[in-house]
Chains A and B, each alone.
Chain A
Amino acid sequence: MTSSAINRRSLLKGATAFGIGGALSSGLRFGTARAATLTIGFIYVGPRDDYGYNQSHAEGAAAVKKMAGVKVVEEEKVPETIDVEKTMESMINLDGASLLFPTSFGYYDPHILKLAPKYKDVTFLHCGGLWKEGGPANVGSYFGYIDEAQYLSGIVAAYTSKTKKMGFVAAKPIPQVLRNINSFTLGARSVDPTITTQVIFTGDWSMPVKEAEATNSLADQGIDVITCHVDSPKVLVETAETRGMFVCGYHASQAALAPKGYLTGAEWNWEKVYTDYVTMIQKGEKVPNMLRGGLKEGIVKRSAYGAPVSDEARKHADSVYDKFMAGDFVIYKGPIKSNTGKMVIDSGVSQGQTDIALESMDYLVEGVVGSTS
Chain B
Amino acid sequence: MRIVAKMATGGPVEVLLVPLIAILASALLFAGFVALAGVNPLEVYALMYKGAFGTWFSLQNTLQRAAPLLLTALCTALPAQMGMVIIGAEGALVMGGLVAVAAGLPLVGMGAPVFLTQLVMALAGMIAGGLFVALAGALRHWRGVNETIASLLLSYIAIAVMNQMVEGPMRDPASLNKPSTGAIGDVYMIGTIPGMDVHWGLVFGLIFCVLTWLLMFHTSFGFAARIVGGNARTAKLVGLPVGFLVLAVTFLGGAAAGLAGMVEVAAVQGRANASLVAGYGTGGILVAFLARQNPIAVIPVAVLLGGIAASGGLLQRRLDLPDATVLVLQGILFVVLLASEMLYGRLAVPRLSLASFLRLRPQRS
Question: Which residues of A come within 8 Å of B, CB atoms?
Answer: 15, 18, 22, 41, 47, 73-83, 86-87, 89-91, 93-95, 105-106, 110, 128, 172, 174-176, 203-204, 359-360, 373
Contact = CB atoms under 8 A, between A and B. Distances in A.
A80 B50 contact: no
Interface string B148-183: 000000000000000100011000000011110000
B316 A75 contact: yes
A90 B264 CA distance: 21
B268 interface: yes
Contact of A94 (B55, B168, B270, B279): B55
B51 A18 contact: no
A355 B337 CA distance: 59
Nearest to B40: A18
B152 to A, nearest CB: 16
Given A75-B313, A90-B51, A22 B43 contact: yes
B179 A80 contact: no
A94 B310 CA distance: 12
Contact of B176 (A18, A82, A360): A360
A81 B275 contact: yes
B146 interface: no
B134 to A, nearest CB: 27
B61 interface: yes
Contacts of A94: 50-51, 55, 57-58, 314
B48 to A, nearest CB: 13
Contacts of A203: 163
A290 to B, nearest CB: 16
A139 to B, nearest CB: 17
Q: Which 7 A-B pairs have the closest CB atoms?
A: A73-B317, A77-B323, A80-B275, A79-B278, A81-B278, A174-B177, A86-B61
Given A75-B317, A81-B268, A47 B323 contact: yes
A203 B167 CA distance: 10
A15 B41 CA distance: 11
Contact of A86 (B179, B310, B322, B323): B310
A204 B274 contact: yes
B50, B163, B269: most-surrounded residue (chain A CB, <10 A): B269
Contact of B64 (A74, A86, A105): A86
A86 B58 CA distance: 9
A80 B322 CA distance: 19
Contacts of A18: 40, 42-43
Contacts of A93: 55, 57
A81 B317 contact: no
Interface in B39-60: 40, 42-43, 46, 50-51, 55, 57-58
Contacts of B226: none
B6 to A, nearest CB: 40
Contacts of A15: 40, 42
Interface of B: 40, 42-43, 46, 50-51, 55, 57-58, 61, 64-65, 163, 167-168, 176-179, 199, 264, 268-270, 273-275, 278-279, 309-310, 313-314, 316-318, 322-323
Contacts of A78: 313
A110 B317 contact: no
20 contacts: A18-B43, A22-B43, A22-B46, A73-B317, A76-B316, A76-B322, A81-B275, A81-B278, A83-B278, A86-B61, A90-B310, A94-B51, A94-B55, A105-B177, A106-B275, A110-B269, A110-B270, A172-B179, A174-B179, A373-B168
Contacts of B317: 41, 73-75, 91, 95
Given A82-B199, A203-B163, A204-B274, 15 more contacts: A74-B317, A75-B316, A76-B316, A80-B278, A81-B275, A82-B64, A86-B310, A91-B313, A94-B57, A106-B273, A106-B275, A110-B268, A172-B167, A174-B178, A175-B176
Contacts, number: 91
A256 B318 CA distance: 30
Contacts of B43: 18, 22
A359 B174 CA distance: 11
A94 B314 CA distance: 8
A53 B46 CA distance: 33
B264 A81 contact: yes
Contacts of B58: 90, 94
A359 B278 contact: no
A179 to B, nearest CB: 10
B177 A175 contact: yes
A15 B61 CA distance: 29
Given A75-B317, A86-B65, A90-B51, A81 B177 contact: no
Contact of B178 (A22, A89, A106, A373): A106
Contact of A359 (B168, B176, B316): B176
Contacts of B51: 90, 94
A90 B57 contact: yes
B61, B199, B264, B273: most-surrounded residue (chain A CB, <10 A): B61
Contacts of A73: 317-318
A87 B309 CA distance: 11
Nearest to A43: B313
A182 to B, nearest CB: 15
B314 to A, nearest CB: 6
Nearest to B323: A77
A80 B271 CA distance: 13
B271 to A, nearest CB: 8
A47 B323 CA distance: 8
A41, A83, A105: most-surrounded residue (chain B CB, <10 A): A83
A79 B176 CA distance: 20
B42, B58, B313: most-surrounded residue (chain A CB, <10 A): B313
Contacts of B177: 105, 128, 174-176
B16 to A, nearest CB: 30
A363 to B, nearest CB: 14
Nearest to A76: B323
B141 to A, nearest CB: 33
